[in-house]
Structure 1
Amino acid sequence: MGVESEFRPAIIVVDFQEDFCPPSGSLAVPQGRDIAPTVNSLLSLPFAIKIATRDFHPPNHVSFASNHPGATAYQSYHTIIHPSDPSKSDTTLLWPTHCVQGTPGVELVPELDVSKIDAVVDKGMNPDVEMYSAFWDPFRVSVSELGEKLKEARVTDVFVVGLAADYCVKATAESAVEEGYRTYIVEEGTRAVTKEAWEAEGKKDVEKKGIKIVSASGDEIRRVKDLVVA
């Protein structure tokens, strides 16, 4: 990523959408809406680029339990076969129907200060593959424009917030590391579907992959604050 002194940070706000938030989201993450003050505070900082992502599913999406007879959301699993290479597969947990295009649940929450967002990247439009990462699905059949936007902004470091910590935030951060970015998850800016598992094992797993779990009041964010706006 160049010399160590280079620092062009980006912030990615993952899937901060109505369907992922209480009280009425179909796949509500506990306390999901509570991250808004932290996220908006971070968005006021001089990041090189500020991107929000959205799950943007068609109604026949493979991840919906309702599209699999006899399946139960949060309990049943489904093995997805690579659309063009049957030798490759990926087993995924099935979810309640959520973030369907054209429904209120797909919208970014009103608490999010979208005036500070430079771009919104949609993901999960392909009905045949699951896509937790905002970069790509596990087969890389569907690749979003996120990677190109980060390259265009000459980003060196990626800070990830949003929902949910143990799924789409985690996967997006892991992809950012794969792409060569120094990568951080800001702890106060995310919530997990399963908090206990995230606290017990999830954080350790992502840290093993080179992702730093940082605080909104920590040195890494202070470094962003200290940047001079170009």
Structure 2
Amino acid sequence: MLASQTTLIVVDAQQGFTELCPEELPIPGGARIVGAVNALLAMPFARIDATQDWHPPNHCSFIGQRDNLYPPHCVQGTRGAEFLPGLMTERFHTIWRKGYEADRDAYAVTAQHPGFAALLRAQRITTAVICGLALNICCYFTARDLRQEGFEVFLVEDASAGIDVPQAGLYQQQTRLEALRLGIRYIDVATLRQQLRIA
């Protein structure tokens, strides 16, 4: 894996997805990923992208709205929308906000920003390393879309956390099997550090 051809994508590492905001959508262990994500952020990737859920208060996925799936979370301008404390956000090259349209959901950055894959290709990026929250939802959908665009894709398990959401039909084990079928690879921080080469 060449660092000069790889992007790190930090997906939705926000307080609203952790026990720091228990009334929102806490993912077990969500707040504990900061150290592992920072270890990735210290590596010499060609670029580092971050995504940020940025929902309006009446977002269609919220309980009481059209899709009625999730408690209100990561609402624009609130604490829940903020990145996790201690995260090395100064390393982010670009922050991509998503889910900001009331009547449309966007699990993946590619759903909200369809030119993202073309931008990566224009910068000679061939590989995407993805971490964050939740591993089996927004991380997976980003990984799936980029894999379908022809990128090599790695999901970093120990820099992520997942959650089953039965009402949305989203399950961790099912998602993992689908990811492996697509050729997405799972990796940990230590192994990735060994495999990342500077050229």
TM-score (norm 2): 0.88
Q: Is the 8 A contact 1:121 1:144 kept in 2?
A: no
CA gap of 1:6–1:118, structure 2 versus 1, over 3 A, is: closer
Amino acid at match of 1:18: Q
Which residue identity is paired with 1:177? Answer: R
1:104 corresponds to: 79
Deviation digits for residues 2-33 of structure 1 (CA, Å, limit 9, x no counterpart): xx989611100000001001132411110101
Bigger mean CA offset, 122-131 vs 162-171: 122-131
Unmatched tracts of structure 1, length 5 or more:
69-77, 79-92, 137-141
Aligned equivalent of 1:222: 194
8 Å CA contact 2:4–2:45 kept in 1: the answer is no
Deviations 1:25-74 (A, max 9, x none): 41111010111111100111110101110001111211011325xxxxxx
Q: Partners in 2 of 1:20 and 1:145 — Cα distance?
A: 26
Larger Rg: 1
Amino acid in the other structure paired with 1:162: G
Distance 1:5 1:17 in 2: 28
What is the CA RMSD across the aligned residues, in angstroms? 2.2
1:110–1:214 CA distance, 2 compared to 1 (3 A): same
> TM-score, normalized by length of structure 1?
0.77
1:115 matches 2:112: no
Query: Contact 2:2 / 2:198 at 8 angstroms: preserved in 1?
Result: no
* Between structures 1 and 2, the one with greater helix share: 2
- 1:46 is aligned to 2:44: yes
> Contact 1:161–1:189 (CA<8 Å) still a contact in 2?
yes
Q: SS where residue 203 of structure 1 aligns? A: helix
Instruction: Determine the C-alpha separation between the residues in 1 that align with 2:119 and 2:56.
Output: 24
Q: Which residue of 1 aligns with 2:178?
A: 205
Q: Is the 8 A contact 1:21 1:31 kept in 2?
A: yes
Q: Is the 8 A contact 2:3 2:44 kept in 1?
A: no
